[in-house]
Structure 1
Amino acid sequence: MSASNAVYSITPFTLLDYPKKTACIIWFAGCNMRCLYCYNPDIVLGKGTIDFKTAISFLESRIGLLDAVVLSGGECTIHKNIIPFIKKIKSMGFLVKIDTNGSNPLVVKDLIFDRLVDYIALDFKSLPETFSQITQSRFFSKFEQSLSVLMHSKIDFEIRTTFHSSLISETQFVKMIEFLESQNYEGKYYVQFFVNNVPTLCQLESSHKEIRIKNYSTSKIKVIFRD
């Protein structure tokens, strides 16, 4: 395993990031997207400060104290040694969750096939017509592939969207739900509202939460708004 500094920082404890589990968060530096509303510009644009060996030493000190490890960022799947790193985490008995933008479906597939991940949060940024603008990337087809991988697996996962009213209109939001239905997705769809007045990659106007007053759930998809 490389000793390169891939990790930006570690949050030693959270009750919010892995459903019903105590966990820590390992934040990976760097990302292959530049989402306009990104809350973590320092992580996305910065460099790692912690090597894998140091991160493993920290996790060894948490054996028996935490249930799970969340790998977030940035984008954890872009790091070439992510799989051996997760193998080491799993060998210590932790559950593993990854937060991903879906740009590396082959990595997601390998993690699932090798039973190295227990829960995945997949970001649904937007539909193709606005995807490049919002993410400054061209990975929508990769996202589709990752969604397909998850849907054809038995792993626990969630789909989530960060909603900013100036980037995604209500009409587009409804079409996003329709897109999920067209992919035969059934289940929960989490929508987290952009938090105003925080540092982001791009300076954005304030976002409103007017869509929250309506019920967008369908017979197959339950839309859940998160604060």
Structure 2
Amino acid sequence: MEYGATITSSIEYPKKMSFVIFLAKCPLSCPYCSNSELLYGGEEISLEEIIEKIDDSAFLSDAVVVSGGEPLVQLEDTIEILKYTRKIGLNTKLDTSGVYPNRLRKVLDLGLVDYLAMDVKAPFNKYKEVIHSDIGDKVKESLDIANEYDDVFLECRTTYCPALLEEEDLFKIVDEVECDLYTIQQFRNRCTLDESLDGAEEPNPHNMREIAQKIKELHPNQDINIKTAEFGQQKIELEN
């Protein structure tokens, strides 16, 4: 398989210490991508080497997260990693863009995922405008599939880049998705795939909180987080 890196994280799987594996390759070219070095390939590594890395980190970890890139490009390797993680008793999380609904169903049918984080990059009808790939229907299909599995926690997350998304787009996304948790992530203007976004406006964390608060008022039963460099991950509560 081709991979980029591994890290240990306390935030990638909420309330659990996780070992995160970044697999290489992605069919998308999102302008704000911060892992663009992984888009076309990475270091060749065997499944056995990945398993060794998991074993070495297992005593510090509660979970393994398979991220990317887009992990479902390397479907069989992703499945084997998740199978092994299950075998040794750790929780599993999969990050995906939702671009491969049939591959996602195959993984979920195997019962290998506890937590699924899906990037919802724009309102479904605005994907081509925002990321130059018209995959809104595929993402919607992937979300519909994910919601068939009651034992899988589903997080939808949107990177809020003011140069590409209006505030109103965030409200529309929440209207369109069904998930256990919706997270608005802060765009960071460093090392972006589209160089025109280098130095572009980053959303102010206080403004993000205000937007999320308004969304929460319209959707009081929806769990909502914001994730910023300044304050990390914050849960949005209804104000009295």
Residues 9 and 49, structure 1, Cα contact 8 Å, conserved in 2:
no
Task: Give 1:193's aligned residue.
Answer: 186
Residues 127 and 136, structure 2, Cα contact 8 Å, conserved in 1:
yes
Higher relative contact order (CA 8 A, sep 6+): 1
| Aligned-residue offset at 1:33 | 0.8
What SS is found at the alignment partner of 1:143? Answer: helix
Task: Give 2:46's aligned residue.
Answer: 51
Coordinate RMSD, CA, aligned: 1.8
User: 1:152 & 1:57 partners in 2: Cα distance?
Assistant: 33
- Which is worse superposed, 215-224 or 187-196? 215-224
Task: Give 1:41's aligned residue.
Answer: 36
User: 1:132 & 1:226 partners in 2: Cα distance?
Assistant: 25
Task: Give 2:121's aligned residue.
Answer: 125
Residues 7 and 51, structure 1, Cα contact 8 Å, conserved in 2:
no
- The 1:94/1:186 distance shift into structure 2, 3 A limit, reads closer
* Structure 2 unaligned residues grouped into runs of 5+: 229-240
Residues 96 and 119, structure 1, Cα contact 8 Å, conserved in 2:
yes
Residues 188 and 221, structure 1, Cα contact 8 Å, conserved in 2:
yes
User: 1:135 & 1:28 partners in 2: Cα distance?
Assistant: 21
What SS is found at the alignment partner of 1:15? Answer: strand
Residue correspondence of structure 1 range 89-168 to structure 2 within 5 A: 89-154=85-150, 155-168=152-165
Q: 1:61-82 deviations in whole A, cap 9, x for unaligned?
A: 2333311111011000111322
Q: 1:135-184 deviations in whole A, cap 9, x for unaligned?
A: 2322211111111112221111211100001101122222222223xxxx
Letter in 2 for 1:70: V
TM-score (structure 1 length as normaliser): 0.87
- The 1:59/1:186 distance shift into structure 2, 3 A limit, reads closer
What SS is found at the alignment partner of 1:80? Answer: helix
User: 2:172 & 2:59 partners in 1: Cα distance?
Assistant: 44
Residues 39 and 199, structure 1, Cα contact 8 Å, conserved in 2:
yes
- Which is worse superposed, 115-124 or 129-138? 129-138
TM-score (structure 2 length as normaliser): 0.83
- Which is worse superposed, 216-225 or 32-41? 216-225
Query: Which is richer in helix?
Result: 2
* Structure 1 unaligned residues grouped into runs of 5+: none
